[in-house]
Structure 1
Amino acid sequence: MELSRKNKTLFIDRETIYILCLCKLGLLNPVHKLMNQQEATEVDQCGIYQGRSFPFPFLLTPSGEHNEKILKNTHEGEVLDIVCEGKKYGQIFVNEVFLINKEKRFQKIMAGDLVSQRAKYAYSHLGNYAVCGEYEIELQQNLVNIQQKIQDKVKELGAKRITALTLQANPLHRVHERIIRLNLEDSDLLVIFLFRPYGFTPLIPYQLRFKMLQHTINNYFSHDKLIIVPLDDTYLSSGANRIIMDALIAQNFGCNRMVAGSNYMGLSLYYDNNEINNIFNSLKGFNMDIKIINEYVYCTICNTIVCVKSCPHGHHHYVHYRAGTIMELYRLGIPPPPILVRKEISAMILNQLFPDRFKRLEKLYNDIIPNAQGMLNNYSDQEFYLNLLDLYQTNLVT
């Protein structure tokens, strides 16, 4: 799109562009537009929009001195260009500009998560004024393609049971695989939403996490009824609002079931009328069957991955799949045992974290890896990790 010399300009970030695209494509239904002041006040008070639950007002509140100056001097009927990183992505036809309580909005959006990196990033991108009105936005083609891909797959399979599974996969471990397998068997179509964060770069880059998940699916799963959906992890899914917004977006992508861990932030499990309930029992407009997954561990007596609810052995026999602990091993350059993470995945991660780590590969290969002599030129650091992890699984007969 070309900038208009007549129009004033709002400068916004990529995250906001993405959110505006989600709304325009109907993925935030029942919200299809920016809310005006009256609608925002009503949603703030009761959490309901057009008869359905929505946790906070959907507003455009760009930060920065330039944007605040523009909005203070903008009136109904004007057109504002929407610009990100020097490129025009759309325009908004102004109906109303109004002052907001920035602190209150921040608390409402973040829903308890007020001090994390995500929270600090979100706060820095909130302004003091909101603008509403119809808008045009250059749609992100990947979102359009994903929508179409899911619709085509549903039609192809005649899918009725369409399950959503959200993952960070940071890192992808064996329990993730177990959950994927269980739900793949129980679904006509499994849609895995792999989240990409804003505001900070995790130790394992998103591209590598996607590659690891794709590798695992391609090599160890029947993937004709499975779709991986890359989805930006925006501030919409923060704090206790995460499960609500994740479920809303999944439902608008066409899913009618969702998998959630019992520790999923915002799930709010409680016991009432002789049954276990969750946050969705009190929400309006959600037609999702929520499947609660209990904790899985590796039991050294059972010698396999088990659910803590069904295994009779004590906690002192359990190996836990805690992402923070596994990531600490990687930070130290130590590959986790293959019962935690597949050796191929560990090799990819360590190769990423410690590139060109081995300066004396020839001696290492010749001394440790069987059949390595004469093959050094065909090997990489990643393949060395793979072969080394194979040795960890070798039994010694005495």
Structure 2
Amino acid sequence: MKSQRKNSQISINLDTFHTLELIKNQVFSKFNSLMNTSQIRLTKGGYFMGEPMPYPFIFSCDFDDENLPNLGENLELLLDDKVVGFINVSEIFNSKDEYEKNIFNTNERKNGLGRYCVAGEFEIFSDEVRAVKSDINRIKIEQNAKKITAVMLTADPINRAHERLIRMAIDKADLVIIFLLQTSGDNHINFELRKMAVEHFIQNYLPHNRVVIMPFRANIFSSHKNPTLECIAAYNLGANKLVIGQNHSGIGMFFDQNQPHTIFDRYINDLKMEIIVLPELVYCNQCKTIVSTKTCPHGSHHHIKYKTDTIKSLLFNGIMPPTILVRSDISAIILSRLYPNRFKDIQGLCDELFSNSGLLEKRDECDFYKELMRLYQTSSLT
């Protein structure tokens, strides 16, 4: 999209773009503009206009002094040289050290401050979050959903323990919102492939009219590092219960007089949300099923843990994980994308290895991995 006006422009990165999209769609607060100096001062106590506000909405950037935008002017936002939104500039002020902690530069993200901060209402040209919010509201009306549970997942990749957690949430809820979180670093399955795998699971194994995926692409939620914002986001999207695992990397659980406490405690009464911290789920080779470490009587030496790094190590080396860890059809989807065109003649390979209905069946790499796992599971000759 090219600009028709000669407005001031500034480049932003993809993470800033997705964070702006969440602000605009009131995921963090009903307030959805970039804050001016007087508004920033009102957030000092961690609240703003009666709402929790752990990070003020301070937009910091760099300008040459002669290129400062004018008040009332639209400052266009560029992403990869395309206009993806604009800020209607209401105030420009010098950045200060006290502004360093902000929604774009949290404790988990150290981007530093530019020379100036820009305040004002803004638009961002993306409909993804808005569309999912609309879908949530539609289902709430159609299903008369009152009990709405949020489940925060990186699903990197979605495994059997994730599946059990989601099913447990559905059992107690009218609607479950799966917040699919961004991951950071290189040793991760990319967001689109993780989303595809979760969608496949929902469409094939769940009542999909009771489950919605909310994609959180901004790094602010990367790998569960900001649980307070997860809780606030779940509340603002209509959830009244948040389900997380005991191994959630950011909850900071501690005990006081034998009572468990977490980082959520500061805002939990304001949001009136129920927080469910589930114990670790493992596969027990004595129970022959997925169990909680709190309920299984067998020792940890009988437990197979759902360690995502271990599962990814298999996938990244082209090996299908055991089906007690990841569904074979989900592994097939991931491997076929991680290793496209891995085999020279996939059709011929399938025809020689696998039985068929007697008719010519066209097969792709995803079919190959699924059929191969079925052969591995044949037990009469083992």
The match for 1:127 is: 114
Deviations 1:196-235 (A, max 9, x none): 45x8776533332222212211211122211122232x24
**Alpha-carbon distance in structure 2 between the residues aligned to 1:174 and 1:188:** 22
TM-score by length of 1: 0.84
**Alpha-carbon distance in structure 2 between the residues aligned to 1:184 and 1:177:** 11
**Alpha-carbon distance in structure 1 between the residues aligned to 2:49 and 2:167:** 38
**Alpha-carbon distance in structure 1 between the residues aligned to 2:289 and 2:364:** 32
The match for 1:315 is: 300
Following TM superposition, by how much is the alpha carbon of 1:154 offset from its aligned partner in structure 2, in angstroms? 0.8
Following TM superposition, by how much is the alpha carbon of 1:97 offset from its aligned partner in structure 2, in angstroms? 1.3
The match for 1:79 is: 73
Following TM superposition, by how much is the alpha carbon of 1:141 offset from its aligned partner in structure 2, in angstroms? 1.9
Distance 1:396 1:256, change over 3 A: same
8 Å contact from structure 1 (residues 109, 241) kept in 2: no
Following TM superposition, by how much is the alpha carbon of 1:244 offset from its aligned partner in structure 2, in angstroms? 1.2
Which residue, 299, 316, 327 being the options, matches 1:331? Answer: 316
What is the DSSP-based 3-state SS (H/G/I as helix, E as strand, rest coil) of the residue aligned with 1:340?
coil
TM-score by length of 2: 0.87
**Alpha-carbon distance in structure 2 between the residues aligned to 1:393 and 1:174:** 17
Q: Pick which of 213-222 and 319-328 moved more.
A: 213-222
The match for 2:194 is: 209
What is the DSSP-based 3-state SS (H/G/I as helix, E as strand, rest coil) of the residue aligned with 2:91?
strand
Distance 1:71 1:175, change over 3 A: farther
Which residue, 65, 68, 73 being the options, matches 2:63? Answer: 68
8 Å contact from structure 2 (residues 35, 58) kept in 1: yes
The match for 2:248 is: 264
What is the percentage of aligned positions where both structures have the same residue? 29
8 Å contact from structure 1 (residues 344, 386) kept in 2: yes
One-letter amino acid of the structure 2 residue matched with residue 315 of structure 1? S
Following TM superposition, by how much is the alpha carbon of 1:180 offset from its aligned partner in structure 2, in angstroms? 0.8
Which residue, 245, 264, 281 being the options, matches 1:280? Answer: 264
8 Å contact from structure 2 (residues 283, 291) kept in 1: yes
One-letter amino acid of the structure 2 residue matched with residue 276 of structure 1? P
8 Å contact from structure 2 (residues 69, 75) kept in 1: no
Following TM superposition, by how much is the alpha carbon of 1:158 offset from its aligned partner in structure 2, in angstroms? 1.3
8 Å contact from structure 1 (residues 161, 256) kept in 2: yes
What is the DSSP-based 3-state SS (H/G/I as helix, E as strand, rest coil) of the residue aligned with 2:181?
strand
The match for 1:56 is: 55
**Alpha-carbon distance in structure 2 between the residues aligned to 1:183 and 1:335:** 28
Does residue 219 of structure 2 align to residue 225 of structure 1? no
What is the DSSP-based 3-state SS (H/G/I as helix, E as strand, rest coil) of the residue aligned with 2:209?
coil
The match for 2:134 is: 148
**Alpha-carbon distance in structure 1 between the residues aligned to 2:17 and 2:224:** 23
The match for 1:389 is: 373
What is the DSSP-based 3-state SS (H/G/I as helix, E as strand, rest coil) of the residue aligned with 2:64?
helix
One-letter amino acid of the structure 1 residue matched with residue 239 of structure 2? C
**Alpha-carbon distance in structure 2 between the residues aligned to 1:310 and 1:91:** 54
Deviations 1:331-377 (A, max 9, x none): 111111111111111111111122222236577546643459985x6
Question: In the TM superposition, what are the counterparts of 1:28-107 in structure 2 within 5 Å?
Answer: 28-29=28-29, 31-40=31-40, 43=43, 45-62=44-61, 67-70=62-65, 73=68, 77-84=71-78, 85-87=81-83, 89-101=85-97, 104-105=100-101
Distance 1:90 1:362, change over 3 A: closer
Following TM superposition, by how much is the alpha carbon of 1:268 offset from its aligned partner in structure 2, in angstroms? 1.9
What is the DSSP-based 3-state SS (H/G/I as helix, E as strand, rest coil) of the residue aligned with 1:266?
coil
**Alpha-carbon distance in structure 2 between the residues aligned to 1:323 and 1:388:** 23
What is the DSSP-based 3-state SS (H/G/I as helix, E as strand, rest coil) of the residue aligned with 1:236?
helix
**Alpha-carbon distance in structure 2 between the residues aligned to 1:39 and 1:135:** 13
The match for 1:4 is: 5
What is the DSSP-based 3-state SS (H/G/I as helix, E as strand, rest coil) of the residue aligned with 2:18?
helix
**Alpha-carbon distance in structure 2 between the residues aligned to 1:106 and 1:34:** 11
8 Å contact from structure 1 (residues 280, 286) kept in 2: no
**Alpha-carbon distance in structure 1 between the residues aligned to 2:40 and 2:72:** 21
Does residue 155 of structure 2 align to residue 169 of structure 1? yes
What is the DSSP-based 3-state SS (H/G/I as helix, E as strand, rest coil) of the residue aligned with 1:61?
strand
One-letter amino acid of the structure 2 residue matched with residue 299 of structure 1? C
Deviations 1:116-172 (A, max 9, x none): xxx4xx628x5232122x323145222222222111111111111101112222111
Q: Pick which of 219-228 and 180-189 moved more.
A: 219-228
Q: Pick which of 29-38 and 346-355 moved more.
A: 29-38
What is the DSSP-based 3-state SS (H/G/I as helix, E as strand, rest coil) of the residue aligned with 1:81?
strand
Following TM superposition, by how much is the alpha carbon of 1:384 offset from its aligned partner in structure 2, in angstroms? 1.8
The match for 1:116 is: none
8 Å contact from structure 1 (residues 110, 241) kept in 2: no
Following TM superposition, by how much is the alpha carbon of 1:81 offset from its aligned partner in structure 2, in angstroms? 1.8
**Alpha-carbon distance in structure 1 between the residues aligned to 2:156 and 2:240:** 26
**Alpha-carbon distance in structure 1 between the residues aligned to 2:224 and 2:163:** 26
One-letter amino acid of the structure 2 residue matched with residue 69 of structure 1? D
Unpaired runs of 5+ residues, structure 2, are: none
One-letter amino acid of the structure 1 residue matched with residue 53 of structure 2? F
One-letter amino acid of the structure 1 residue matched with residue 133 of structure 2? Q
Deviations 1:255-305 (A, max 9, x none): 111111112233121223442222222226322211111110100000000
**Alpha-carbon distance in structure 2 between the residues aligned to 1:266 and 1:260:** 11
One-letter amino acid of the structure 1 residue matched with residue 101 of structure 2? R
| Aligned Cα root-mean-square deviation (Å) | 3.1
**Alpha-carbon distance in structure 2 between the residues aligned to 1:26 and 1:97:** 24
Following TM superposition, by how much is the alpha carbon of 1:317 offset from its aligned partner in structure 2, in angstroms? 0.5
